Amino acid sequence: MAKILLYWGWDADLIECPQVVSDNLTKYQRDFDAWISNPKNEHGYWSIDNEGELGLGFTGEAFLDWLNEFILKASDTKAHFLKQEYIADELDMKLPRINF
């Protein structure tokens, strides 16, 4: 198992996942970005803003759910949160991370 930081610029979520996810984090980030930003995907993170434009609003839970549902579906080992919405320290900032 490996730790990954989902960094939001002010706070972070820390998840634990299979090592293969950490080792290929850039690929999985691109795949997640493509999935979540595709307007054909009815994933529940779409909303209409004040100007009537379609927009995205999501938290680390979206990435974790996507990871477990699409990438780790056949795996007995699933990703899970260790910490949510916390201020990452210097050690955590050295972990593999996704900057949202």
C-alpha distances in Å from residue 24, one per residue of 35, 49, 87, 97: 17, 34, 25, 11
Range of lowest pLDDT (6-10, 46-50, 83-87): 46-50
In the predicted model, is pLDDT for residue 83 greater than 90?
yes
Structure tokens of 39? 């307007």
Place 80 in a pLDDT band, splitting at 50, 70 and 90: very high
C-alpha distances in Å from residue 19, one per residue of 16, 34, 72, 94, 96: 9, 22, 12, 16, 11
Q: What percent of the chain has pLDDT over 90?
A: 79
Report the pLDDT value the prediction gives residue 53, as an integer from 0 to 100. Answer: 86
Q: What DSSP state is assigned to residue 10?
A: S
In the predicted model, is pLDDT for residue 48 greater than 90?
no
More confident residue, 48 or 63: 63
